[in-house]
Chains A and B, each alone.
Chain A
Amino acid sequence: MISVFNSLVLAFVIALNGAPKTKIIVADDCHSAERFAAEDLQHWINEISGAKVPLESVSGRASQKGVIYVGGAFAEGVFDDDLKTIGESDGFAIREKDGSVYLFGTKPRASIYATSTFLEENTDIIWARPSEAFGTVFSKNPNLDFTMTDRLELPAFETHGWNVVAIRRDYATAKWVVRNRGNKAEQAEPKGKEGTLGFIRDMGGHIYWWMAHPTKYFKTNPEFYSYSKLKKTRVPETLCVTAPGLVDVAVKNLADRIAAGGGEKVESLGIGFRDSWLCCQCDKCTAPIPLKDGSTLECKSLNPEHDPKYYSTRFWLFISEIAKRLKAIYPKMTFIGSGYMYAAEPPACDIPDFMYVSFCPIGEVDSSHPLLDENQKPRWRNRLLEWNRRFPGRVFFYEYWCSYSAGFAGIRGIKRIPIIRQNLLDLKNVLKGIGVESELTPDSPRTFSNHSMESEWDACSIDRWILARLIWDPAANVNQLAKRYISRTYREAAPLMRKFYVQLMKNEWDDSVPRRQRNVFNCKEPEKARRYLAEALEAARHPNSRKMIERLIGQWEIAREKHGVRTVPMMSKEEHFREPGATCWETCLTLPEFKVPGYFTWGVAVNPAHKTEVRMLTDGTSLFLRLDGKVGKKGGDWVYLSLSPKEKNLNPWRVKHPFDGKPKVFEIPLRDLGVDRSDRGTYPTYYFLRYDAESGEESTVDGAKFGVKSGTVSF
């Protein structure tokens, strides 16, 4: 239904006063991804307007007016030019004809790109992060008129997706990926529902054990496994890539696995060695390799790190043979060899014409420069240039942009985005590469590497969203993308969140802070960005916006603590520090809650029967420490407070003090602690313990083990 809107713009009416004014139509034999596209469109229209637009399945061609057709089948014979333009790509089109809207592509998943774009361009919706509880932000609007009904987009690359690592099968993340135009979300769809969203079906990775698992072959064929010159024996740590008969076994096992994984439906196989630098050291695997030009490649070291060219050549010779034989069985399959560790070095041998390299720029890459930039480490730049020179058009990027970090999620902002964008532009324009895949943590509360995976999203959703758009189109304007993300996600708080992200980009550091140690907390004005966050939280109105800012603040505090930064605020000497009830204590450093260490609760610290709280302030001369908490009826509680100077010649400040639950302030001269506020190396560590006579519990800051310093305070 087309109506006149604002007298000039023709609009497609979706809903009026919360009532549906159109319907969505899919082909009754459509792919599950096209059905998902239609249902997703129906779902979000309902969420936004309250109108439950009917969804119908029909057979045959488009014949109705005023409806939304979802899926490629309806475009045939109607938009043949578009279908031809899209070809085999993931491109999609949004078109309007005879009063109906057509959302389609030639690939089923493209219909999801089309419906998502249709919603994004006609409402203020944004899938800011995968969380189904609060990750999507939009305005309610019972009257939906869609004016953008004409678009065709083509992706820059064949592959533009993610490897959803750490926690598998997170469907919310898979849906976020496809709504934001990704065509790969490895192992993110639920078991048994693989293929629902139409992602590229691929297999592989570190698959040496798929080829010949030691539990099956080590006893019967120890020669398949690596020889260690140190141990003087074969060990099942990696494969002996020159072992007679190994290729036959590997091809059979891989073919069986592919058949079990879908056979012809499997589109791509990644072939990589085990995630290790170990290589076989047998005489054959370290023998000179004859090359096509008549020369030989000598093995210069038993350590692949010292001679990557040789070991890369060995690896590529081995997998090339396997790929050739598998190609005969699965001619349509794409084969991608791992350009990882030593195999990132281009081999001295040829590789089959149909093979691609999954180039993994990891390890001593200078992330402050694009890979092809003249300032990049020559090793990486030269490798990439050589791959391109010798195997043009066969580079595929495997990246780690959104992988998990060690221990906690860092606060990054979007400073690195322009560099990544340049890499993508180079991949498209210079390397003519086929695509990119990056590791991505799911938005899951489950824990991996000591922290929940959703905390990575709490800290850095914005760069994930922008990167999703850039791997679709690296030429997109980063500023415009950032602006869209911030304005749609944070709405009323957008101006302050923009200042926050700008501040992160403007952060400066003393030259004395090594580049690799720089973070948002040891920059010159660490609190400036934090203040913008606090103000943004005040300004935010939409509950999901608030939630995302709250969680970003939470992650900020966690990251700050993990960086060992607990900064004691400095206040004017005129403040009434010695009075526990003074207002200055409302803006102080509050240490994490006291908890009972998890000695008898499997390492999980538990809340004590009675709380204890320590706050800190400084006037520049003394450290003021305010103790507060609750006590039971039985007397005899005490606290032990200890601050240890960094300078070994100074005695720690220690006090064991009866505790009656009344707030108390201690004053410790900074000179007694050896603190020079301008020198981070002088900041003291603390150890506080509370004994609760009634419960018999002993609690420490955040449940730290007894005798272990809880942390460092800075000034």
Chain B
Amino acid sequence: MKRIIFLSAALAASISALGEVFEVKPETRYMLTYDWSVDGQCRDFADDPEGRSKIYGYRGDEYACEMLYFGSGRSEKCVCRMALAPGNSGRMNHEFYTDSSTVKVRAEVKAPAGCKVKIGKMALSEVKGAPTLNVNPDFGLGLYNFSGVGPSNDGAVTLLPSPSGGVALHGGFYIHLAKTPVRPGGRYNLEMKAQGWHRKHRMDGSFVFLDAQGKKVFQSEIPRYSRNSKKPGESIVKNVEFIAPDNARWVYLWLYGATIEYARITERK
């Protein structure tokens, strides 16, 4: 992997940006890491619980924020925006897959006016030998790290301390988990511990399969998660086996009103 240094400061009067460009392999799992610290008038999640659900999605006008771009030039597109975690400093570990055609990745940190950000030791490394195919399956990267989480449709998405001591994700009305590579005809297993916010005490969801161009080729429902009335405070664990259909290159989970403690996708031998 070749690294190209990229530095941009004071791009505009109100926003400054710092970042680097990396050459990458397509459909490969990477970890972006860097040290960061903020100073000045930055909003801090520790003093702002209202903002916690905003950690996912661009809030560059309020928070220091990491932006991740795939491609370059005119074809460059932003694939992830994540606000930086609370406190004045820390180390970010952001795990993701590159797309089927991605050979260049640009990572950038932006900050609103009055907020000074320092970035150091930014690095991108390939992740090998991970126990699951999907990224951040147990949300173990922390309470303020949305690696592995895709688009959602409301402002209620949040990471929470789970009763079992880990971290859980509440996906608001609906949420997509980040896409995971699959092989057509490959056999996979989803092990998911989750529960629903639906008024009928249930959670529904689907597997959505995409081709290499990101076009949907198939969708199939995940068996419904329903509350056990004798254990109203417990999440349900289910193992669901699935086979990737022809042309499928990626799969993601589309979940409605879900609180997920973990969602692990593994390939069956």
* Residues of chain A at the chain B interface (Cβ within 8 Å): 447, 450, 598-604, 640, 642, 654, 656, 687, 689, 691, 696, 698, 705-708
Contact = CB atoms under 8 A, between A and B. Distances in A.
Contacts of A603: 196-199, 201, 257
A638 B170 CA distance: 23
Given A707-B54, A707-B155, A599 B170 contact: yes
A640 B45 CA distance: 12
A687 B233 contact: no
B156 A600 contact: no
B53 interface: yes
Contacts of B196: 602-603
25 contacts: A447-B199, A599-B160, A599-B259, A600-B235, A602-B196, A602-B202, A602-B227, A603-B196, A603-B257, A654-B48, A687-B50, A689-B50, A698-B49, A705-B156, A705-B158, A705-B170, A706-B50, A706-B156, A706-B160, A707-B51, A707-B52, A707-B53, A708-B154, A708-B155, A708-B156
A604 B202 CA distance: 11
Contacts of B168: 599-600
A642 B52 CA distance: 14
Contacts of B155: 707-708
B162 interface: yes
Contacts of B47: 656
B195 interface: yes
B257 to A, nearest CB: 7
A421 B161 CA distance: 58
B90 interface: no
B52 to A, nearest CB: 6
Nearest to A600: B163
Interface in B204-244: 227, 232-233, 235
B156 A707 contact: yes
Nearest to B261: A600
A601 B233 contact: yes
A634 B104 CA distance: 51
Contacts of B54: 707
Contact of B49 (A598, A600, A706): A706
Contact of A598 (B53, B163, B197, B235): B197
Contacts of A601: 232-233
Nearest to B154: A708
Nearest to A707: B53
Nearest to B225: A602
A143 B10 CA distance: 94
Nearest to B257: A603
Q: Chain A interface mostly helix, strand, loop or mixed?
A: mixed
Given A689-B49, A706-B50, 9 more contacts: A601-B233, A602-B195, A602-B201, A603-B197, A642-B50, A689-B50, A705-B170, A707-B156, A708-B154
B197 A706 contact: no
B82 to A, nearest CB: 16
Nearest to B159: A706
Contacts of A450: 199
A268 to B, nearest CB: 34
A689 B162 CA distance: 18
Nearest to B197: A603
The 5 closest A-B pairs by CB, nearest first: A707-B53, A603-B197, A705-B156, A602-B201, A602-B227
Nearest to A450: B199
B48 A656 contact: yes
Contacts of A696: 161
A707 B201 contact: no
B52 A706 contact: yes
Contacts of A708: 53, 154-156
Interface in B48-62: 48-54
Contacts of A656: 47-49
Contacts of B257: 603
B144 to A, nearest CB: 13
A628 B218 CA distance: 54
B261 to A, nearest CB: 9
A599 B156 CA distance: 11
Nearest to B258: A599
A71 B50 CA distance: 69
Contacts of B170: 599, 705
Interface in B124-175: 154-156, 158, 160-163, 168, 170, 172
Contacts of B48: 640, 654, 656
Given A599-B197, A603-B257, A654 B233 contact: no
Nearest to A652: B50
A689 B172 CA distance: 18
Nearest to B229: A602
A603 B199 CA distance: 7
A600 B162 contact: yes
- Of the candidates B50, B156, B201, the one having the most CB atoms from chain A within 10 angstroms of its own CB is B50
B168 to A, nearest CB: 7
A708 B158 CA distance: 11
A706 B53 contact: yes
A656 B201 CA distance: 33
A601 B54 CA distance: 23
Contacts of A654: 48, 50
A600 B195 contact: yes
Contacts of B53: 705-708
Contacts of A705: 53, 156, 158, 170, 172
A502 to B, nearest CB: 37
Interface in B5-32: none
A655 to B, nearest CB: 10
B232 A602 contact: yes
Nearest to B161: A696
A450 B50 CA distance: 27
Nearest to B235: A600
Contacts of B201: 602-604
Contacts of B154: 708
A710 to B, nearest CB: 11
Given A689-B50, A707-B53, A708-B155, A602 B162 contact: no
A521 to B, nearest CB: 24
Contacts of A691: 49
A705 B172 CA distance: 9
A447 B201 CA distance: 13
B214 to A, nearest CB: 25
A44 B160 CA distance: 57
Nearest to A696: B161
A600 B202 CA distance: 12
B197 A602 contact: yes
B38 to A, nearest CB: 18
Contacts of A599: 160, 168, 170, 197, 259
A618 B257 CA distance: 38
A598 B172 CA distance: 12
Nearest to A449: B199
